[in-house]
Structure 1
Amino acid sequence: MIRPARALLLSALALLLLAAAPAHATGYRYWSFWDRTGDHWTYATEGPGTARPVDGTVQGFRFAVSADSADAPRPRGAASFGAICARTPATSGTKRIALVIDFGTRSDAPSGDTPPTLRWACARVPPGATTAEALATVAEPLRYDTNALLCAIAGYPRTGCGEQVSATEKKTAAQDTGPSVGVHAGAAAVAALAAAAIWQARRRRHA
Structure 2
Amino acid sequence: MTPQYPIRQYPIRRRLPLRGLGVLGLLLAVLGGLLGTAGPAQAVGYRYWSFWERDGGGWTYATQGPSFLRPEDGTVQGFRFAVSEDSQDSTKPRGDAGFAAICAGTPAKDGTKRVALVLDFGTSDDAPDGETPPKPRTACARVAEDATTADALAAVAGPLRYDGNALLCAIAGYPQTGCGEQVSSGSSGSSRSSGSSGSGERPATSPAADPTSTSASGGAEGDDSGPSLGLAAGLAAVALLGAAAVWQARRRRG
Structure-2-length-normalised TM-score: 0.58
Matched AA of 2:123: T
Per-residue displacement from partner, 1:64-91 (whole Å, max 9, x unpaired)? Answer: 0001123200000112000000010111
Note if 1:57 corresponds to 2:75. yes
Opposite residue 154 of structure 1, the aligned amino acid is A
Judge conservation of contact 2:129–2:189 (CA < 8 Å) in 1: no
Return the match for 1:147 from 162, 165, 169.
165
Range that drifts further, 64-73 or 147-156: 64-73
Q: How far does the alpha carbon of each residue in 1:134-187 deviate from its partner, in whole angstroms, 9 at most, with x for none?
A: 000101100001111100000000001111111253269xxxxxxxxxxxxxxx
Partners of 2:131 and 2:67 in 1: how far apart?
Answer: 26
Matched residues, number: 154
C-alpha change, 1:103 and 1:157, in structure 2 (3 Å) is same
Percent sequence identity is 69
Contact kept, 8 Å, 2:85 with 2:185, in 1: the verdict is: no
Q: Which has the larger radius of gyration?
A: 2
Of 85, 109, 114, the residue aligned with 1:67 is: 85
Contact 1:27–1:166 (8 Å) recurs in 2 = yes
2:155 is aligned to 137
Deviation at 1:23, TM superposition (A): 8.0
Which residue of structure 1 aligns with residue 61 of structure 2? Answer: 43
More relative contact order, 1 or 2 (CA 8 Å, 6+ apart): 1
Q: Could you tell me which runs of 5 or more consecutive residues in structure 1 were left unpaired when the two chains were aligned.
A: 1-16, 173-207
Question: What SS does the corresponding residue of 1:90 show, helix, strand or coil?
Answer: coil
How far apart, in 2, do the equivalents of 1:96 and 1:158 lie? 28
Contact kept, 8 Å, 2:125 with 2:188, in 1: the verdict is yes
Runs of 4 or more, structure 1, over 6 Å off, are none
2:44 alignment partner AA: T
Could you state the TM-score of these two structures normalised by the residue count of structure 1?
0.71
Q: Distance in 2 between matches of 1:68 and 1:49?
A: 22
Provide the aligned C-alpha RMSD in A: 1.9
Structure 2 alignment gaps of length 5 or more: 1-36, 191-254
